[in-house]
Amino acid sequence: MITKNEFTELSKVHSEFCISIFIPTHRAGEETLKGKDIIVLKNQLKSVKKELELQGMSEAEVKDFLKPADDLLEDPEFRKNMSDGLAIFISEELFRKYTLPLNFEEFSYVSNEFYLKPLVPVFNDDGLFYLLTLKADEVKFFEGSRDSITKIRIDDLVPSRKEDRVGYDHEQKNLQFRTQQGGKGEGIFHGQSDNESESKEELSRFFRSVNKGLLTILHDNQKPPLLLCCLDYYFPMYKEVNTYQNLYPEHISGNPSDMDDLLLHERAWELVKRYFNQNRKIKSDLFLQGYNSGKSSSELKEIIPAALSGKVDTLFLENRSDIFGIYNTSTLDLRLDPGHKIPNISLMNFLAVKVFEQGGSVYLMEKENMPDDSSKVNAFFRY
């Protein structure tokens, strides 16, 4: 998981050599057992080493520069904790790695800045979501996408059981609480009204503790919706104490113990896919509506200065594509090149970072889904 602060920190790094590596990975299966992900990483590191040597680094300097990444190849714990994609960033003074539920293309980039475009779906409404399964005796947290779901360890952040938060005193009281699961998993309290109120307050305190713990990782203005899977009467209680900005208004009804990870993912995606499709369509429609009035553009020479001045509300970028060149911010001259070669940069990465920093939305889209598919870059402006 990567935070907005970390993304911003990476975006501000400018050095003689900044290395960005992206590879697809697997959580389990034959690819993991045979070390195929490690082989892919080795191949990308070989490509980076060759490029650094072409740029004038000695073999010893290259070895020292890439040592943190080379060390991963021999780390058995690293191999055990893969997700759908791996992102690695290396500069003279920095080394970062992130395992994320994103399906990256195998790719490496050597420049004077990091390549961050593939990470923007983490922070914009672009298919990523969180899932919290909530029971009085067990709490689990997942990071999900259209294609996958990954359990995130939170044992040290939240109480795993209600008893861990409120103690075992309630077991000794006269209250008898019984949950009967009907079609909607309603809960029924039995006992004196004051004890019923006390038990509800215990649950409320437990949920507050869970919320507080989650906020240590759900911060920095992250936008992915947070879904709950729980009994129906839990949801309004958790909603009342929740402080995460994007708690999803619907929940997965039922006992989480009755669902494996595959079913949880299926039911979660059924709920949130409407949310993602709707948001994209709204933004795409706004782009098309503004095309003839100057509120939209597919021209780089118009979009780049607008992004630099914070005027881009929404940026659409063709996925698995790029545009390389140099933009002179003083003369406003734009030079396009057929490929990447230092000192030129990825202009699409440059735009993604600038729009993100200015609070705009960035969508990576397949060519056929671009509002104007005649261009790799579309933008809807703020006015």
pLDDT over 90 at 185, yes or no: no
Could you tell me the pLDDT band of residue 2, with boundaries at 50, 70 and 90? Answer: confident
Cis peptide before 236 (omega within 30 of 0): no
- How many angstroms separate the CA atoms of 211 and 157, rounded? 10
Q: Are 378 and 371 in contact (CB under 8 A)?
A: yes
pLDDT over 70 at 292, yes or no: yes
Q: How many Cα neighbours within 13 Å face the side chain of 280?
A: 19
Out of 171-175, 231-235, 236-240, 354-358, which region has the weakest mean confidence (pLDDT)?
171-175
pLDDT over 70 at 273, yes or no: yes
Could you tell me the pLDDT band of residue 163, with boundaries at 50, 70 and 90? Answer: low
Could you tell me the pLDDT band of residue 195, with boundaries at 50, 70 and 90? Answer: low
State the pLDDT at residue 162.
65
pLDDT over 70 at 183, yes or no: no
pLDDT over 60 at 34, yes or no: no
State the pLDDT at residue 123.
79
pLDDT over 70 at 208, yes or no: yes
**The one-letter amino acid at 322:** D
Out of 124-128, 130-134, 277-281, which region has the weakest mean confidence (pLDDT)?
124-128
Out of 191-200, 209-218, 331-340, which region has the weakest mean confidence (pLDDT)?
191-200
Q: Sheet containing 324-327: give its strands across.
A: 334-337, 324-327, 345-346
State the pLDDT at residue 191.
42
Residue scoring higher pLDDT (82 or 58): 58
Averaged pLDDT, 44-58: 96
Q: Are 260 and 140 in contact (CB under 8 A)?
A: no
Question: Across-strand partners of 377?
Answer: 317
- How far from 182 is each of 7, 42, 134, 136, CA to CA, in Å? 45, 53, 18, 18
- How far from 7 is each of 91, 100, 245, 362, CA to CA, in Å? 15, 13, 19, 14
- How many angstroms separate the CA atoms of 306 and 292, rounded? 17
When mean pLDDT is compared over 72-86, 203-217, 229-243, the highest value belongs to 229-243
pLDDT over 50 at 174, yes or no: no
Torsions phi, psi of 366, nearest 5?
A: -65, 150
- How many angstroms separate the CA atoms of 198 and 187, rounded? 15
Averaged pLDDT, 160-177: 46
- How many angstroms separate the CA atoms of 139 and 158, rounded? 8
Could you tell me the pLDDT band of residue 29, with boundaries at 50, 70 and 90? Answer: low
When mean pLDDT is compared over 33-42, 219-228, 266-275, the highest value belongs to 266-275
State the pLDDT at residue 184.
45
Two tokens at 131?
């899932």
Could you tell me the pLDDT band of residue 274, with boundaries at 50, 70 and 90? Answer: confident
Residue scoring higher pLDDT (143 or 182): 143
Out of 42-46, 143-147, 372-376, which region has the weakest mean confidence (pLDDT)?
143-147
What is the residue-averaged pLDDT of the chain? Answer: 86
